[in-house]
Structure 1
Amino acid sequence: MRSYGVNVEANPVVAVLHAEALPDPARMAPVAEHATVRYTRRDGLPDALDGAEVLFVYDFRTDALPHAWHAANRLDWIHAASAGVDPLMFPELRDSDVTVTNSRGIFDAPIAEYVLAQILSFAKDIPESLRLQRDHVWKHRDSERIAGRSVLVVGTGPIGRAIARLLTAVGMKVSGSGRRGRDDDPDFGTVTATEDLPAALAVADFVVLAAPLTDSTHGLFDAEMFAAMRPGARLVNVGRGELVRTDDLVDALRSGAVGGAALDVVDPEPLPPDHPLWDLPGVVITPHNSGDFFGWQDTLVDAFAENFRRWRAGSPLENVVDKRLGYVPSS
């Protein structure tokens, strides 16, 4: 374990990379009380990094850091205001001694609720009910039950586990897919190894993508994987858009091999207005907000402030990312 922290008599420099909105100053007060805080957008990041010991990546979708890395001459620790850290996993950072932490745990339950909502929307055909209401049409229809239906969750980290627990609680039969296969997992029961994923897809009514984006998961869901899915099964993606080869998904939806898709993340992102995914039947698209509950920004800043307190005290940091894996290993 590395030794964290600085001389508490010194006044460390903390760079905060933000987009349009700044972190709430009141939430940042525990940091500003003990540090010089430099707020910056991407264009000013090199100047802000010069002499900074800490970087708070509040703009969690940014790709600015690799271009400013040359200025990181004193950097000790980077904290990401997100669970995924794929934009930060460029070679120079991976090979450095800089510690990376993330905001694991904040979005688990909200994303699980989103997944359940989308599965229920598919089963009860809520989009068609809204269309009929819009047209003032009273039309009786039957709907599916979700109890007893099978769900494969691809990704067995904290978000995948929160999804598994919630779907199990409503009576669905949940299994997982991860790097290692096992039959005694406390949340999934059975976890299928990635190399055996096609066989697991063949028996799932719903497939939920909740894996981190790494070299091994990039483009994992391609034409071969979609062909392996049970005909008419639905896909829910709350991981990263790049887990899916978008053109192959479009083809699978058009052919009916995939019965529908709820996509909170897409590739490219944002989705261009003329992209065919917008108009395909059975597709629901949301703008990467499945975990964004009222107050989530404040919760992210609070998590950083707590980790900053630990850093100053020389205590172990929370949610330390294994830069080789690209995520926080499960304990």
Structure 2
Amino acid sequence: MATFNYTHLNPTTFVLMGIPGLEGAHIWISIPLSTFYIISLLGNVTVLFVVGKEQTLHQPMYLLLCMLALTEIGTSTSVIPKALCIFWFNLKDITMGGCLTQTFFLHTFSMTHSAILVTMAFDRYVAICNPLRYATILTNTQVAKLGLVGLLRAVLFILPMPLLLSRLPFCDNHIIPHTYCDHMSVAKVSCGNITLNKTYGLVAAFIVIVLDLTLIALSYGLIIRAVLRISSKKAHLKAFSTCTAHISVMLISYPLLLFSTLTHRFGQGISPHVHIILANLYILVPPLLNPFIYGVKTKELHDKLGQYICRVLPLGITDIKPG
């Protein structure tokens, strides 16, 4: 009887329902989902390939772009393949261990992504406010160390989440109304007291998001102050143009992150399928758009990418033999 009660309270598997209320449209939803995922993978892998191949791009700014691309690949890959299995093959079961692992990697990559955006803001600050010392302040080694600090911070903040989930009882409710396992979606199906989970999740998100946004705001405040001291309008435009890609990425990433975080706790009036669709967009939209933003806005990367395309296209044409 003791063994029965243990398995009854602590399931070995959960069931991910996908998008409740839109089960009949799962196949149709999977079409843009899979398309966005493939394009985002191609875009981020292309950034990694071009920066890796070109010695001239082995600089702090492009190393940060590679880190950003890796976190975006990790975030989307931790979620989308399983979601597509639900939509295409109705494979809704996920083990307890698999669910906790997905939770850990999803939130770790997401938090590391935020840390890299902070480092990129610092990079722009040094480039604009201390251009003569840029090469000594921000070396590739320093950037790599900052990336590791961001990863370590994420691991330390996120590791308690699956541990807190593993102690919860789940009684008869093993059904998670979501396409993936995140901390609060799993906690909400528990029949136990989830106050600690809610408190820790909210505090961790608040500390990280507020701290990161404060550091970014401080960097841009110093940038604006330095730029306004320059009398040349042309210099103003040039300085601000170096920040447009980073600002665009932040405007895509943080509003979706804040919405997804807050609706879990305070969005009782929002329809579940609306929340789940937006939660998936948070996973997909930044990895989809960011490579294009930096590819267009960053001249050196844009030029090198154009060179590779020009090299590949003639090869493809010469391979075509007349019938």
TM interval, shorter chain, is under 0.3
**Structure with larger RCO (C-alpha < 8 A, sep 6+):** 2
- Tell me the TM-score normalized by structure 1: 0.23
Greater helix share, structure number: 2
- Tell me the TM-score normalized by structure 2: 0.23
Greater strand share, structure number: 1
